[in-house]
Amino acid sequence: MKKIFLFIAIAALAACERSADISVEYEGDRIVVNSLMQEDSVVYLRLTRSQPPGATTFPEIRNAAIRLMAGDAPMDLQYQEIGGKGYYVSATKVAAGVKYQLEVSAAGLPAVTAEDTLPRRPLLREPFAQEGGNRVKVYLSDMPGPDRYRIRLYKAKKLGDGRYVPAERRGYRFDPSYNNSFTDMITETYHESSLIPDERFDGREILVVFQTRQVLVKDEVLLLEVTGLTSASWQYLKSLELQETVNGNFLGEPASVYTNVGKGYGIFAGVSVTYLEIPVK
């Protein structure tokens, strides 16, 4: 594992790309891997070529030799264009309890390796929200052992088939009257995302209470997204969060972007997402 300072393309969970502009001595082109594997989903693997500081485009790698192992079983991947970008997509879905090992080589570039597993799926129950207020309550059941979470709250949209999907982010903060496990995260500022380790509530069920920025409206539906993270995906997202904070402060030290890709850059890590519908009563 290592950390880097470089101008590279980085992908978030939504597979969007943005740049990390950090000046260092350039050590030559490398393979940039971007893949956050999600339980019960196929693998979407994006490969690009790193560029010197100041570059604005990042060439896709279309003819890579890829070996992806799910335990002892190889996984087949095929190149596809999705939304104008190229991805190597697996034919089968990933599952919990399996180690995934990746090897990638491309002409003129050092071969890279990476590995990770999938985290445990977050367990949520008993959501509650009432019209005219701004509190949203839910129970989070944490299992013994290290777990890490990312929390986001959305206004939901109902599709024709009856499913609810995220429509727009909702700002929230943790209610200081209830959230003793999050005392270091209780602020006056509303957030759209929080990264939380379970150090203060390991192996316990806790009541999590959010204060929303907007007053809740009867019959609207909120969607709570809680993502379980491995050590690698946690460090990656945490480093992006720190980088965004530092980039907004001209007095701050340059922030490094975490990578678990040997001899390359980027991230190859597991996540596990739970969505919970919260109807406003």
Distance CA 73, CA 116 (A): 15
Distance CA 148, CA 200 (A): 11
pLDDT at residue 19 is higher than 90: no
pLDDT at residue 17 is higher than 90: no
Collapsed DSSP state (helix, strand, coil) of residue 109 = strand
Q: Tell me, what's the pLDDT at 188?
A: 78
Average pLDDT, the chain: 87
pTM recorded for the entire structure: 0.86
Domains annotated for the chain, with CATH where assigned, are 2-119+230-272 (no CATH), 123-228 (2.60.120)
Distance CA 235, CA 223 (A): 25
Q: How confident is the model at residue 246 (pLDDT cuts 50, 70, 90)?
A: low
Q: Answer whether 22's CB lies under 8 Å from 5's CB.
A: yes
Compute the average pLDDT of residues 99-109.
Answer: 97
Compute the average pLDDT of residues 30-37.
Answer: 96
- Convert the pLDDT of each residue in 40-67 to its tens digit: 999 999 999 998 877 778 899 999 999 9
